[in-house]
């Protein structure tokens, strides 16, 4: 889920010019799309939410104990348990004790922090919102007294019995300051595309006319420095990406099982 392929949708602009009123809708759309991609990249590829449908497997209990310290035993009721010199744990418990509440909870760990959960389906039927909650933007907790299914038949669509899925949005919401930035940059792109004078720095760096020397920043150098030369755009970039990061931070675990995204 961490693969960056571009923003999932264009940012909503706050227009700072009147050129958009006379420009064709197609050109306006191209300009907003181009401005969105430029600002998304320069701001560290952070902003914007995407939606994905996940097909998770339930979180199991007690998976971190070393094998060399334990053995299999059978209780008087005939149930196998996992035991060591200090602890007795039921196998396949279906829910785990929380570190704080000391009560058993049924939860699954989502592969990345999510923004919102749109829908959860079990056996093809959507659960009501009050049947679950999200903790720490990552833990999907069952709250209706039931447990998450042990198995998830990935050979079937999530509309069928024997399956379950989580549809969620992930990523950071686009801040309001980005609306001004994308509007300003899109305006200048429209001006450049229609042959109108614009404030985007041209490809020259020095201009001498009638004894006056003017130094103009090179647009390519500005982009390398993470800036554009536009006031509202650069104010947004300085505020949201002061260290000029190329992408948002990530944490990978080679030990954690992967979660399948369907249709991607």
- Are 99 and 192 found together in one domain? no
| Residue pLDDT, tens place only, 202-214 | 554 554 556 666 5
- Are 203 and 228 found together in one domain? yes
Please state, in angstroms and rounded to a whole number, the distance separating the CA atoms of residues 121 and 135.
18
- Are 109 and 83 found together in one domain? yes
Task: Determine, yes or no, domain membership for 11.
Answer: no
Please state, in angstroms and rounded to a whole number, the distance separating the CA atoms of residues 30 and 47.
19
pLDDT of 30 over the 80 cut: yes
| Residue pLDDT, tens place only, 168-191 | 998 899 999 999 999 999 999 999
- Are 132 and 110 found together in one domain? yes
| Residue pLDDT, tens place only, 56-92 | 866 555 444 444 444 444 444 444 444 343 333 333 3
Name the domain count of the chain: 2
What global pTM score does this model have? 0.68
Confidence band for 246, pLDDT divided at 50, 70 and 90? confident
pLDDT at position 226 is: 72
Confidence band for 103, pLDDT divided at 50, 70 and 90? confident
Confidence band for 222, pLDDT divided at 50, 70 and 90? low
> At which residue do the structure tokens 């399956």 appear?
163
Residue range(s) defining the domain that contains residue 71: 51-171
To 5 degrees, how large is the angle CA 144–CA 145–CA 151? 95
**Are 94 and 106 a contacting pair, CB within 8 Å?**
yes
Residues 6 or more apart in contact with residue 209 via CB below 8 angstroms:
none
């Amino acid at each position: 889920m961490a693969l960056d392929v571009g923003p999932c949708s264009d940012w909503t602009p706050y227009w700072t010019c009147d050129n958009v009123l006379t420009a064709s809708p197609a050109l306006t759309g191209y300009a907003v799309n181009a401005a969105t991609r430029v600002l998304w990249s320069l701001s560290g590829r952070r902003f914007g939410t995407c939606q994905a449908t996940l097909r998770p497997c339930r979180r199991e209990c007690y998976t971190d104990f070393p094998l060399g310290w334990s053995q299999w035993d059978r209780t008087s009721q005939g149930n196998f348990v996992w035991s060591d010199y200090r602890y007795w744990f039921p196998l396949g418990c279906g829910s785990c004790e929380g570190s704080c509440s000391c009560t058993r909870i049924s939860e699954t760990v989502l592969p990345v922090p999510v923004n919102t959960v749109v829908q959860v389906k079990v056996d093809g039927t959507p659960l009501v919102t009050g049947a679950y909650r999200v903790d720490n933007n990552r833990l999907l907790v069952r709250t209706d007294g039931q447990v998450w299914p042990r198995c998830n038949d990935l050979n079937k669509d999530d509309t069928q019995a024997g399956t379950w899925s989580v549809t969620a949005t992930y990523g950071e919401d686009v801040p309001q300051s980005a609306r001004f930035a994308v509007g300003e940059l899109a305006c200048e792109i429209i001006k450049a595309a229609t042959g109108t004078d614009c404030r985007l720095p041209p490809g020259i760096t020095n201009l001498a006319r009638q004894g006056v020397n003017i130094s103009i920043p090179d647009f390519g150098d500005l982009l390398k420095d993470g800036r554009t030369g536009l006031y509202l755009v650069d104010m947004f970039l300085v505020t949201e990406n002061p260290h000029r990061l190329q992408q948002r931070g990530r944490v990978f675990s080679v030990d954690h099982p992967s979660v399948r995204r369907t249709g991607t």
